[in-house]
Structure 1
Amino acid sequence: MSALARYFHSKGIAVSGYDKTETPLTKALEQEGIPVHYEDDINEAPKDADWVVYTPAVPKNHKELNFYKERGYTVLKRSEVLQQITESSFNICVAGTHGKTTTTTMIAHLLRDSGYGCNAFLGGIAANYNTNFWGSEKEVCVIEADEYDRSFLRLSPDIAVVTAVDPDHLDIYGTEENVRRAFADFAQRLKPGGLLIRKLGIGKELKAERMWQYSLQNDQANAYAANIKIEDGGYRFDAVLPSQIIDGVRLNMGGMHNVENMIAAITVASSLNIDQDKIKAAVASFKGVKRRFEYIIRRKGLVFIDDYAHHPEELKALINGVKTLFPQEKCTLIFQPHLYSRTKDFAQEFAAVLSRVDKLILLPIYPAREQPIPGIESNRIAEKMDGGAPEIMTKDELLDWVGNEFSEKRNRAFGEVIITAGAGDIDKLVGLIKSSLEN
């Protein structure tokens, strides 16, 4: 939504908006000249709006949204607006139940840094540019294609990338089969002659006349990484592609899953005939995405990582990445479950993957658009875990624990890794935790 706000603002159009809570992102929008309010108040709703754009995450009883609908304003979903913006452009659309934000940002960065050029509509903040939108005179759009509410079925890709197809958003889809069918329909949205780039093994139902598969290091794929070496919290590898090999690629971010994401991005850049030296330089200069395996503190004996992970598969990739890069250090994970429905649907899966850390702290569920479900709290995950029971804390209790017990007792001989994870408002705590750890 904020990327769209920035797009219209860049065109000289008056933009304002509502959000449930104030965040660093909404503060940035306000500093850029886009007013934001945080109370669902009809008096705050501009009466001269030409378009009202909303995300399906807004609850159906939202007063302002219903005010506009009932009075005949032009009310459009975010996906409908993206559809109109991109109707006449060459579109690179990235979908997936996880991995899509990082992969979209990687592709957009490779095209921008190499001089190829693109318009970017991202679901996260690119650390290189501190924004989730940029424009270009080139009629090429790199778009994060969101599967929630089937929004991605409004897009028309020239290149479609699919990073993962796992059960999620079952409040919308009902069954895993319906999720898979939606992704198959997305693949069919390709324009004639378009290219589908999908992760190896994620579903035979995703088909296209032109299709490449990518993998971390499985040589059965058309594109994969070879000779992977860990170097200073990042990786060096050779990118084996359908038409060439780019050797000695350096990626300066953690998580083996991000090597795989970068293989997908490099495959896109290679398909556009971007020079391999420019691709290598762009990969090396990539600083990552805010809240995607983001290093907040990175020093000997203490590492603090913040990540958006909110699905069991995302948490598995995050924990695997940390364990690979920091095998000796004790790992503490602070997790804020996102949505009552997701916690109910995946409590067992959350419990299994979160059991792999040395210490787990659970915050209360972040409800987002949902009303509470009786009997579903963070302890639903704790009840299903084997071994040591996690601690369940409020935000205030957590900050007190970080500043006192953790700081006093942490293992300084072998080092500690502390991780914050979740898609709610846990990011508001990151600065406070950082300050406490540094002091």
Structure 2
Amino acid sequence: MLEFIPRATRFVALPDGFTMKRGGRLTGARIAYETLGRLNAARSNAVLILTGLSPDAHVSAHADDPAPGWWEAMVGPGRPIDTDRWYVVCVNSLGSCKGSTGPASINPATGFPYGPDFPALSVEDIADAAAHTVRALGITELAAVVGASMGAMTSLALVGRHPGLARHLVNLSGAVHAQAFAIAVRALQREAIQADPDWQQGRYDARCFPLKGMLAARKLGLITYRSATEWNERFGRDRLDAAYTGTSAAGTDQLDMNFAVEGYLACHAHRFVRGFDPNAYLYLSRAIDGFDLGDQAGGDADAALAQLRLHSALVIGVDSDILFPLAQQRQIANGLGEGGTRVTFLALASAAGHDAFLVDHARFGPPIAAFLAAIPLARPDAAAALSLSLA
């Protein structure tokens, strides 16, 4: 069990006896976070960023950690999420291995890592832990919550479970629940990890680590994060350099690795797997599959969306996303609109697939910047209209 914590990460303690949706309880747990910008005197300029499955809390470089963050092009002075205006809080999800309590953390009851004994995790637990973190920082109301992928699910859960905590929402490549294709992909990823003999029922360590299973899981994920169009445009049938053919990034024989796309997957998978705990991967993956916003409204996700109370929302999806297809973002926009939220919905054309929010900054940046710039720093009356211009 392994943890990987950025150097400037700070922590908020969760209350002892933190109760989880599926019955588990945590004692001595914590949430990792980082902040950028300055909180104004009215405490009205806070923006919460909720992450996808794998990122840490280091969203962008700052004085305490100048290393580039995972969303460097989007967060910072003069960028779409402008830290000259906004006080940005980014949390690492409960259940992760990047500082927040998760399967790789020490169980205070035993003195050893939780491993597979960590309580069953849900997206709702992640949302509750994030909400606690925000309040612990002295913020009673967020100007906006921004979530992408799993973070978009978490943002919906947070708004539903903590009414009034956020005035506005930016929901990127999200869904009210996972569809069958995405569930099937993640099921295969989990199977690959658990079929590795070195997984040892989740009792592995740094010396005996389920490397092959993690590599297979990550490669499968990488394939689905982008579109077939992009894979074809980037690699086609290009071959690996002769000097590379026959050896993987880990130095093991790969005599059947002939194509450039194979080399790319091997390189990026190796880069990832030694920086992420396998049990955390399993827990977060299951949490995504188990989430259904409809649980808040008797199984009716559309009704649950209509019950969310926001001043405005920006919902963005991508036409080439196969994990969270565009129809799922349209459903979010329509449901929020039915409940009275002023919604801007954008269907972007991009070959970058589900990962477009991470890499296609030219398409995602301007509408996010315009939406956030239109939010007044003063808290408006609940009935006041917010005029948005995304021209």
Give the structure-1-normalised TM-score. Answer: 0.28
Larger Rg over CA atoms: 1
| Greater RCO (Cα-Cα under 8 Å, separation 6 or more) | 2
Greater share of residues in strand: 1
Give the structure-2-normalised TM-score. Answer: 0.30
